[in-house]
């Protein structure tokens, strides 16, 4: 990813997961930082492959 301010290449500072209770959905979160001008960007991409796992209710 390139910096929107100075167009320099941004460095990945951290990758982790975040959870949105109102969806509910889990997001793959990545934090970018531009070393040149100290701009930070956070992106959160939904992890579709796990969103419906283990939610099926047993029939009674
Ligand atoms: Zn920059």
DSSP string, 23-55: TTEEEEEEEEE-TTT--EEEEEEE-GGGTTTT-
Give the pLDDT confidence score for residue 29 in this predicted structure. Answer: 96
Spacing, Cα 54 to ligand 1 middle (Å):
42
- List the domain range (segments joined by +) for residue 42: 11-46
In a domain, 18, yes or no: yes
Spacing, Cα 39 to ligand 1 middle (Å):
6
Q: How many domains is the chain partitioned into structurally?
A: 1
Spacing, Cα 45 to ligand 1 middle (Å):
22
Spacing, Cα 40 to ligand 1 middle (Å):
9
Tens of pLDDT, residue by residue over 3-52, are 999 999 999 999 999 999 998 899 999 999 999 999 999 999 999 765 55
In a domain, 57, yes or no: no
Spacing, Cα 50 to ligand 1 middle (Å):
34
In a domain, 1, yes or no: no
Whole-prediction pTM: 0.70
């Amino acid at each position: 990813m390139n910096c929107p301010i100075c167009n320099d290449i941004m460095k990945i500072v951290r990758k982790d997961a975040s959870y949105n209770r109102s969806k509910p959905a889990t997001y793959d979160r990545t934090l970018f930082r531009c070393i040149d001008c100290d701009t930070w960007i956070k992106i959160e991409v939904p992890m579709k492959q796990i969103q419906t796992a283990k939610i099926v209710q047993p029939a009674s």
